[in-house]
Amino acid sequence: MFFPQVLLNTDANLLDNRLSFFARFFGVETNPEVGMWLLFITIYLLAVLSYVLGFARKIKLWQNIVIYILMFIGCLPLTLFGAFYPVAECMVVIAAVMGMYRFRLHQDKKSGKIKVKNE
């Protein structure tokens, strides 16, 4: 599925300088197909983690399935950009910020600074 021709038709030294950290880490320059799949899985898991930490609400199962399918489709072009741009690296930062937000929110609710609505 992921077999970008640009990875095959370039000089190895030039390509190595252009790849992002995660693309180099997963070996996109030596084995593009496996490397791009690993990059896709990483970007998808980071997107799911960011969604769960920052935006997820209690909704019906079929709505969750639709959201995760659309997220899967949306991560496909992000993976193509992620080979040369720091997409996965930015997703790590987003997940870290969302984790800190969720932690602080939990602490504020626990201390009583934020009132919780009873559902």
If one counts the domains in the chain, the total is: 1
Instruction: Give the pLDDT band of residue 71 (cuts 50, 70, 90).
Output: very high
pLDDT at site 117: 72
Instruction: Give the pLDDT band of residue 115 (cuts 50, 70, 90).
Output: confident
pTM of the entire predicted model? 0.80
Q: Is residue 117 part of a domain?
A: no
User: In the 8-state DSSP scheme, what is residue 29?
Assistant: T
Query: For 19-31, what is each residue's pLDDT tens digit?
Result: 889 999 998 988 9
Q: Name the residue range of residue 10's domain.
A: 5-111
For residue 47, give every residue at least 6 positions away whose Cβ sits within 8 Å of its Cβ, in sequence order, or none. 71, 74, 75, 78, 91
Instruction: Please say whether the beta carbons of 82 and 39 come within 8 A.
Output: yes
Decide if pLDDT at 116 tops 60: yes
Q: Is residue 119 part of a domain?
A: no
Q: Which whole-number Å values give the CA distances from 57 to 52, 54, 74, in the listed order? A: 8, 9, 20
pLDDT at site 89: 95
Q: Is residue 25 part of a domain?
A: yes
Q: Is residue 90 part of a domain?
A: yes
Query: For 30-65, what is each residue's pLDDT tens digit?
Result: 899 999 999 999 999 999 999 999 888 889 999 999
